[in-house]
Structures are given as C-alpha cells and as structure tokens.
C-alpha cells in the first residue's frame, strides 16, 4: 500500500511585498478618499471602476519575442485559449482601454475619476509594496488647456478638503512645450526633422530629471561632456556647449516673483521657437484662468523648476507639494514634498484606434498624502474603540445584549464581551486592547440595586500616567449610575473625552 | 537586415468574464456598502483589508500531485523562488490566514468586516462574472452562540439600513447540530464512532440540499433507495427505511407558528440524542437573545427548512430572505429570495495552527442586494448629472470657469463644456448625455446686459414628452436671470426637480 504522507501545515503569511490593513488604517484612508471623491464629483467627474484584470495586450506590456509578458506586471495565461491576462499596474492604462472601447457611448470630453489598488511585480523592499492605492482624475477629449487649469484648481480644492490648510501646499505648473522651445533655441531640436538630435534630447530630459539628486552642477555636466559619479562610473553627456547648457539651465531657473515676470522670462528664453511660444501661451492661459477663479499665487504658480514628468507628458505638467516641514529620518527638518502629479498626454487611445485623443489628468499619491495627514495630526488621534459591556454573569447574556442594543440604537458604538467570561481581568484587558473608551459592569449586586458601573478607561489611563492622590479622589474614573440612565451617562462620559 | 514587422493594434476589450462599472453603478454600490459598514462599525466590528493576492498555500487550493494549482483560482508562479500566488476567491480564506498570522496581536474575540472584490477562474456566462464583490462580517474566537445571535440581529439592522423596510425581509435560523441529532435518531450517526455511516450521511446532506429543486418526494427518494431523474440517470440513495426517512423529513418540516412550538417539535425529533439536544438548546438561546433585544418573529425566526449550507457549517446556520415579490423572467410573481447567508464554522484556523478556533459570520450578496434595491426603486432614480455651463465665446473661458467656480463653492455639481465649442448643438447634446439638469448660456448679448440664460433640461424633457401649447407657454423651460443671481436661481430650479 502507498504510504500516506502527512501534508505539512501551510504557513500563515502575507505574500512577500503585500500587506494587511487593520481598523483605522482602512477607515482613515477611506475617509480621505471619500473627501477627494466628493470634490471630484462636484467638478463633474464620474467614477469609473474597471476590473483588476486586463488583457496583457490592452496593458501594452507584451513583448513579442518572449513567451512571458514583460516583467513588472503579475500575469498568467488563460487555460483554454492561452491569452495572457494581468493585474493592472496603474489606472491610466485601463482608462485608455475604456476610452477606446466605449468611444461611441461615452459623452466626450469624458471626465472620470478612479480609485483603487494597482499591482507591480517588483522586488519588494522596506516601504515598497507590490499592491498600493492610486487615486486619479482625468479629462479625455478636451484639447483646450482650460481642462488643465481645471485639474490644477481641483487639486488645490482636494488638498483643502482632506485637511491641508491653504498656505501649506502649492500647485506648481510647468510645460513640456516650453522645454521643447528651449531645446530648439539650444540647437538640439529641429522642428522640421524631429529625428535629429533625438539621442541628445533624451540625455537632456534624463539630466534635468536628476536636478533634485545631482544639483545644478551635476546636471550642467550631463548637459555638456558628461559626468563621473562617486563610484568612478562615467555617464556620457549631451555634448552641449556651455552657452547651450546655460539656456537649458536658465529654463529651470526662470521662476520670478510674479507669474507675469516668469512668463516674460520664459518668452525671452524661447524667442524664435514656435512650440516654445505656444507653451508659454498655454502657461499664461492656465495662470489667467486660475487667477480668474481666485486661485492666486498662494495656491498655484508657474514654476519651470518642476521637471518631474517632463519626459513623459506632452504639454502642461503639474505637481502638488506640501510646503510645511517635518522631521526627516536623519533628524533634520525638511519640506514634506510632492503628493500628487500629472499633466497632459495626447496619445492615450492612439495605440488602440490610431486616433489621437487629447487627455490630461492627475494622480494623487494616496499613501504619501495619508502619511502627511498623520504626520500633522490631522487623522488618527481619535480612539474609535467601542464601549465594551462586560459579562459578570454568563446566564444573563440577554441583559448585556439589551444594553449594547440600547447604546447602538442611540448611535453609540458598543459590543458585549463574547469570549470566555470567567476571568474578569481578561475582559478588561480585552477592552483595553480594543481601545474601548468605557467598560460597563453589571454584577449581581448592581442588578439587584438597579444600577450599573461605568469605568472611564480614557480617564483611567490618564490618571494612571500622572495623577496625584487628590486627583484620583476628585475625578473618579468609575461611577455608578441608574440602569435606566445608561445611554445618557455613557454619552456624557464620551463627550468629556 | 531583419524585417521589422508592424505590430497589429491591440484590441480595446474587457477580458472575458470581467466588466466595467460606470458612474451610478459605482456610487450606488458604494452608498450601499457605506450604509452596511456603518452598522458593522456600530456593532464593534473592525474593518480588515487584506491584499488581493495570497499564497496558494494559504488559500488551501494547492493540489500536491499537479504542477498547477487547482482550477477555480487565478494563479501564477513567482519568478525567483517559484512560489505560487493567487487572487483570493473569497474573504473567508484571507480571514483564516490573518487570524492565524496575527493570533498573538489581535484582541479575541475578533470581530471583523471586509468588503471588496474576489476572483473566480470559472467559465464566464450570462450574469456570471469572474470578479465580483463580497461583504462579510465574522466573529472569530467566540464559542458562545450569543455571537451568532448578534450576527442575526446585525443582519436585520443592515437590511433596514440599506432601505429594506421591516416586513419585507426575514432572517431564518437553523442548526446543523439538530440535523446531526436527527441523523443519530434515524440511525445514520453513531456518536461513539463518527466513521460509521459517513457515506450515508453524505448522501443525506446532499439530498436535503436539493429540497428546493427536487421537492419533498425527490428528497425522500434520495433518502431511501435512490432516484431516477428525468434523463433516466439513477442516483443511489442513503438506504434509509421509510421510518428513518420520515424522521429526517420531519426535521425540515418542523417549523411551527411560534418559536417555542418549533423548539418543542425539534425536541421531540431529537429525543435521546445529546448533540441534537445541544443544537435545540442553541436555537432556543439565539431565539431568546433576539427576543430580548426586540428582534421578534417579524424579523428573525427559527426555521428548520433552511437547509442551504448545513453541509458546510458546524452549528447555527442563518439566511436572510427578502419576502416581497418581483416579476421573474418568466413573467410570474415570485419572492425575491435570499440575499445573505452564514453560520458557524469551527475549523477556521486549524489548517494553519492545529488549534480549533470557533468562528461565525455572514456574507452578503452585494450584487443581489443591490439588484433588490433597484428592483424596488430604492436606488437609481435621481439624476446626478452636473449643471453644464456652455461656451458661447471661446475667448471668455475665464468667465465660464468663474461661473462653475461659484456653483461648486455653493456645493452644486457643475462643469464647463471643454470640448470644441464651435457647434452649440453639440454642447446641448453633451449636456443631455451627461443627464445635466440645467444648461447655463451666456452669449455676447447676455454678457452685455449682465444676464445669463438657464435652460431647465428636466422640465424641457417632460414638456417635450406630453405638454400642450398652453403648458409650454405657462412653464418656460428657459429663463433669463441676472448674472449675480446665478447660484440662487440655479438652486431654485434644482429644488423644483
């Protein structure tokens, strides 16, 4: 007879790079997303919820010469027809598919928002997860930069709606076309033949994208001959002359005290370039539209030093930064930094239909924004645990259930202890771990006298920390009240917290 | 040189068996889930959000003798260590993993709720999707049936919270232990040796699970010698004598007018069986606890005819049914039927830890409940489209943006038309497709005179349908108002709808 091998027990583990969210982690994020959705809704954006799964073909990650899709996505093959499916890696690719698939059914310009998890098949690391939330709003089919201005205004409203006060954030706007104009002036873009200097422009784009990390001198080196890093490795430069490089550097440094002055400076820089001039016009229009709606320089500014995403987007680029300081991991004070970014991209559905459809949108870094709210104490302080009704006499469960019933009917979060009631200490320990604000106690004596005991666990914890004997006596953390007053007394105690 | 083959355009298609949700589809479901979560929260349940991805090992779907995991889940292999990962197929398996993984960190009894999509790798069909929502609440670590009673009460509260009036639903409760007692009395369960009659009990369980489909006679046949179906196929029966079969049939038929009478009838049926007596005691306790909290027979009843899930659960079993009638696909009136089910299962974490941990919970059929709310007109009637400000003069975009800004500041959903404004008819068509209640128009003349036109699209549609000439004249669907009164006039028009 074959030997029956005993199966080992499975490991109870979250897969590598994934995590579980408990209690307040879930509700705080949800509250933030709800507040954001409300703003999106008010702006006329409609929700779209696509499924987590797309065909790899639609995601555009399929490499024709390997039998497995590109790394970076979680993919698998259908058993019947061998088609490859994958989890979405962002919310833009599904939007592109939807805009193409329903192009005859949707009302364009199509304003849509989407919120939900996305998946990346990457090596997990500290703080790097393989599933995380995105929260996007995009307008598809609106060529006018009024759509971009609208997204910027909405972004400002979103930040205030979730609790970032005016003055603690700024929306910065730049434009890829202005950079193209600068490159034209610098001699690395030929409007009549875009294939010339393509390699150089690639190096320029990558160089300015590294401004934060390398500083102006590092970028200048990459624009010129090249740069040797600390390890001795040499990165080839774009080969620009010092004068050409200064033109490009001047772009990133063009911000002036007022929007008008910045626009004037940019006009100088792109003088002679049609695309550069178009880009400056767009920035001016966006600035005017924002001003007209009351989004002044305290909320949104033209800032050519915004370089992130310039390589990806085709027109306006925007970024929302939180300007207040927090203490970094190295103990130094530093600005919180970017929490959202976006811009205009005009090739959204072209892959599917061949038609160019203009689109602009923004993606909010859900985890970063939530971290900012937590860092400044704007979420997470309230103990949301339930009132715990303890069980002194297991035969009177109906009495205790009636109590929680009354409390819940009054809108108060409450629960009866459902574990083994034998050890009363365990019940109080449980209430503690549940962050219960109050424990309700009704033993035989109390029952007989028509009263219950209310233990104020919040006050108790405070007293235990630093109270004198007098304070202990003057502020009783446990009171006796008439059974009929249970709801009123609990509410009073909760209001004191 | 190698020939560069032009890639064909990708198809813009949702993968087979998946679907996209637009606008109201998303917001209506969200509103329902929010209302449910509020009830769960009030009962002390905490949200848990696990990732969509689990190890196949933790899901328990791995077959040791094939190199691919069991069908039914979407699974793939990690590239580095070859571990199998999969999308969760329900919310209970992740709960089991979490309860085991965090057994030293969670406060038990652990009340948790979870809402979110789950995935099944099944053949898609009409109305059968491979991704759908589940909405569960479970209590882990509470052996007392007070936990089951709580779930039943909560289920009733949930149904009322989403808009099902009392009287239109009923929560039915049964108990697997009573069935076990009945089987003991019928002679197919030997309490001292559970391995005896295992095959017979399996047949009995499968037979009663088919009560709805086969009717009493069909079940009776399967309890006895067996049954030949319409196609001529023979299904072997459990081999019970007519008397034994009647005992089992009597169980499903034991419901009486009052809970007390039902309990008394069940006691007769299980006389002599310890487990049967325990089961009846549990039902009586649940009934008493629900009564004590005011959940009378109009909301929750003991009903031994609830057989769904008796094979899976180990103690109390419950089901929520909507009792109002709808017109079925065949044109006949029929009860809406079940929208939620659950029960007690005591082997939740045993797979992982070897320890038995009692658990009880409920799963709400999100799509079915939403369908019920739609069928009865409780969601979906309100047109939630934005006020659309049209663009008569593309150079005055700032004016139009200022209008939507004012409307939004007043909490009114509004948007400016962002498509090509040349054709005004297209703008009104757009407003129509957006289900806009009002279109705002400000041309050059209006601007000069300091007024705007408000077109009441809701009234316009009504009039277009069935108005006389007099009505057309007496109820103007378009009015002129002073620019400064825009917000007030729009609000008044919206209030009329």
Which whole-number Å values give the CA distances from A416 to A23, A421, A447, B44, B310, in the listed order? 19, 11, 17, 9, 27
Check CB contact under 8 Å for B20 and A293: no
φ/ψ of residue A283, rounded to 5: -60, -40
Order of all β-strands in the sheet with B451-456 = B414-416, B387-389, B438-441, B451-456, B478-482
Distance of CA A396 to the CA centre of its chain: 48
A312 is in an annotated binding site: yes
State the average pLDDT over residues B225-240. 90
B491 is in an annotated binding site: no
A396 is in an annotated binding site: no
Nearest 5°: the CA angle B90, B93, B98 is 125
Residue B1 pLDDT: 44
Are residues A81 and A87 in contact, defined by beta-carbon separation less than 8 angstroms? no
Residue of A23, A105, A146 to mutate for B, most B C-beta atoms under 10 A: A146
> A177: which residues sit within 8 A by CB, 6+ positions away?
A275, A276, A278, A279, A282, A314, A315
Q: CA of A208 to nearest chain B CA: how many angstroms apart? A: 32
The C-alpha atoms of residue A228 and residue A249 are separated, in whole angstroms, by 19
Check CB contact under 8 Å for B402 and A18: no
Closest Cα in chain A to B290: A398
Name the token pair of B255. Answer: 């419901």
Are residues B239 and B225 in contact, defined by beta-carbon separation less than 8 angstroms? yes
> What is the SS3 assignment for A341?
strand
Distance of CA A406 to the CA centre of its chain: 39
Are residues B252 and B148 in contact, defined by beta-carbon separation less than 8 angstroms? no
Axis crossing angle, helix A176-186 with helix A198-209, rounded to the nearest 10: 130
Using the CB atoms, write b or e for A338-374: b if 16+ within 10 Å: ebbbbbbbeebbebbeeeebbbbbbbbbbeebbebbe
pLDDT tens for chain A, 497 residues: list them: 445 556 678 999 999 999 999 999 999 999 999 999 999 999 999 999 999 999 998 988 554 444 555 568 999 999 888 889 999 999 999 999 999 999 999 999 999 999 999 999 988 888 789 999 999 999 999 999 999 999 999 999 999 999 999 999 999 999 999 999 999 999 989 989 989 998 899 899 888 888 888 999 999 999 999 998 888 889 999 999 999 999 999 999 999 999 999 999 999 999 999 999 999 999 999 999 999 889 999 999 999 999 888 888 999 999 999 999 888 778 888 888 999 999 999 888 898 999 999 999 999 999 999 999 998 888 765 557 999 999 999 999 999 999 999 999 999 999 999 999 999 999 999 999 999 999 999 999 999 999 999 999 988 888 877 767 676 666 678 999 999 999 999 999 999 88
Residues of chain B contacting A427 with CB distance shorter than 8 Å: none
The C-alpha atoms of residue A446 and residue A448 are separated, in whole angstroms, by 5
The CA-to-CA distance between both ends of chain A, in Å, stands at 69
Residues of chain A contacting B78 with CB distance shorter than 8 Å: 16
A449: number of Cβ within 10 Å: 11
> B420: which residues sit within 8 A by CB, 6+ positions away?
A143, B426
Check CB contact under 8 Å for B430 and A74: no
Which of A194, A173, A404, A413 lies closest to A307 in space, CA to CA?
Answer: A173
Which member of A9, A98, A108 has the closest CB to residue B352?
A9
B313 is in an annotated binding site: yes
Name the token pair of B292. Answer: 């004590």
- Helix (H) or strand (E) holding B340, with range, is strand B333-345
Check CB contact under 8 Å for B13 and A419: no
Are residues A306 and A172 in contact, defined by beta-carbon separation less than 8 angstroms? yes
Categorize the per-residue pLDDT at B213 as very low, low, confident or very high, splitting at 50, 70 and 90: confident
Which of A390, A415, A409 lies closest to B294 in space, CA to CA?
Answer: A409
Residues of chain A contacting B87 with CB distance shorter than 8 Å: 52
The C-alpha atoms of residue B273 and residue B277 are separated, in whole angstroms, by 6
> B4: which residues sit within 8 A by CB, 6+ positions away?
none
Name the token pair of A424. Answer: 């009363």
pLDDT tens figures, B147-176: 999 999 999 999 999 999 999 999 999 999
The C-alpha atoms of residue A403 and residue A380 are separated, in whole angstroms, by 28
Are residues B179 and B185 in contact, defined by beta-carbon separation less than 8 angstroms? no
Residue B5 pLDDT: 55
Which whole-number Å values give the CA distances from A346 to A257, A316, A354, A362, B222, in the listed order? 31, 11, 12, 14, 66
Strand boundaries in A120-168, DSSP class E: 131-140
Which whole-number Å values give the CA distances from B280 to A341, B74, B173, B359, B375, in the listed order? 62, 42, 11, 19, 37
Q: Is A210 exposed, middle or buried (0-12, 13-18, 19+ CB in 10 A)?
A: middle
Domains in chain B, ordered, with CATH? 24-52+88-375 (3.30.930.10), 387-496 (3.40.50.800)
């Amino acid at each position: 007879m074959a030997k029956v091998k005993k199966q080992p027990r499975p490991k109870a583990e979250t897969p590598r790079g994934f995590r579980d969210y408990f209690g307040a982690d879930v509700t705080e994020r949800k509250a933030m997303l709800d507040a954001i959705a409300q703003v999106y809704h008010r702006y006329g954006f409609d929700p779209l919820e696509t499924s987590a799964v797309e065909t790899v073909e639609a995601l555009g990650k399929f490499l024709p010469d390997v039998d497995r899709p590109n790394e970076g996505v979680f993919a698998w093959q259908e058993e019947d027809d061998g088609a490859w499916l994958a989890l979405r890696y962002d919310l833009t690719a599904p939007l592109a598919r939807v805009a193409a698939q329903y192009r005859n059914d949707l009302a364009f310009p199509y304003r849509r928002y989407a919120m939900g998890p996305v998946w990346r098949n990457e090596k997990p690391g500290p703080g790097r997860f393989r599933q995380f939330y995105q929260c996007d709003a995009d307008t598809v089919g609106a060529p006018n930069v009024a759509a971009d201005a609208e997204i910027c205004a909405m972004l400002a409203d979103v930040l205030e709606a979730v609790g970032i006060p005016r003055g603690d954030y700024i929306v910065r706007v730049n434009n890829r076309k202005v950079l193209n104009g600068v490159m034209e002036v610098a001699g690395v873009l030929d409007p009549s033949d875009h294939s010339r200097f393509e390699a150089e422009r690639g190096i320029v784009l990558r160089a300015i994208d590294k401004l934060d990390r390398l500083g102006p001198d590092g970028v200048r080196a990459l624009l010129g001959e090249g740069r040797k890093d600390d390890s001795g490795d040499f990165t080839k430069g774009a080969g620009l002359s010092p004068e050409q490089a200064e033109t490009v550097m001047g772009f990133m440094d063009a911000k002036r005290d007022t929007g008008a002055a910045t626009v004037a400076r940019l006009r100088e820089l792109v003088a002679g370039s049609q695309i550069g001039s178009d880009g400056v016009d767009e920035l001016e229009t966006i600035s005017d539209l924002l001003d007209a709606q009351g989004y002044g320089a305290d909320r949104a500014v033209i800032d050519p030093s915004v370089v992130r995403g310039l390589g990806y987007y085709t027109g306006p680029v925007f970024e929302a930064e939180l300007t207040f300081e927090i203490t970094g991991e190295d103990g130094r004070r530093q600005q919180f930094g970017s929490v959202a970014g976006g811009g205009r991209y005009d090739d959204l559905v072209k892959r599917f239909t061949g038609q160019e459809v203009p689109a602009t949108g923004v993606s909010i870094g859900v985890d970063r924004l939530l971290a900012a709210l937590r860092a400044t104490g704007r979420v997470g302080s309230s103990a949301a645990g339930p009132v715990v009704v303890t069980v002194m006499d297991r035969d009177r469960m109906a009495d205790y259930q009636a109590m929680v019933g009354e409390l819940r009917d009054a809108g108060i979060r409450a629960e009866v202890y459902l574990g083994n009631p034998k050890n009363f200490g365990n019940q109080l320990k449980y209430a503690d771990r549940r962050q219960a604000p109050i424990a309700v106690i009704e033993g035989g004596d109390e029952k007989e006298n028509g009263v219950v005991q209310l233990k104020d666990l919040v006050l108790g914890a405070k007293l235990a920390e630093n109270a004198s004997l007098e304070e202990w006596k003057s502020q009783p953390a446990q009171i006796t009240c008439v059974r009929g007053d249970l709801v009123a007394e609990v509410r009073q105690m909760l209001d004191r917290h």
